[in-house]
Amino acid sequence: MSRRELGRVEVMARVRSKQLRVVDAAVMLRLSYRQTKRLWKRYGEEGAAGLKHRSVGRRSNRAYAEELREKVLRLVRKKYSGAVGERFGPTLAAEHLRSEDGLRVDGETLRRWMLAEGLWSRERRRRRHLVKRRLVCKRSTIERGDESSSDTPSSARRRPSSDRLRSRLRSLPWLGFVV
């Protein structure tokens, strides 16, 4: 049952125990008095199961035919499956089914079918981890020579001071703000 239906069960239980009237239950459930009376009658006849939506468990009117589903999954098993790294994903398999076999199935639908049948897993092939190397400015090391061990701290060499940064920003009027 959904949260909404469970809430209705709680309210109807309070009506049954005479803590609430049907009119008050209608206000709490945000339903009309007549609809609440219908719910109250069904709750009295069938209990909490009577408040469950009648369409639960029914097949959708827009669902694909079961024969088509079985045919598509048979083709996927035969043509497009394989080892974890080699098999087709649902999107590519749907494209091939459409172009080669003339079967139009949405990729998302095929993904759900393949997951249910165990023909595809969500695991992705991992890419090799690339280690980022630190960039070295060759020109500045050549110009500096042995000055790298000067008296200025390394943080002062790396970043311009705020005064120099302000003067650089002032010299760029196209930035559109005043420092």
The tens digit of pLDDT for each residue in 34-73 reads 999 999 999 999 998 888 888 888 888 888 889 999 999 9
Residue closest to 6 by CA, chosen among 52, 40, 38: 52
* Selected residue with higher pLDDT from 169 and 144: 169
Query: Which residue, chain included where needed, has tokens 């790396």?
Result: 158
Band the pLDDT of 176: cuts 50, 70, 90.
low
148 pLDDT exceeds 80?
no
168 pLDDT exceeds 90?
no
Contact 93, 110 (CB under 8 A): yes
What values do phi and psi take at 104, rounded to 5?
A: -95, 105
Count CB neighbours of 18 within 10 A. 7
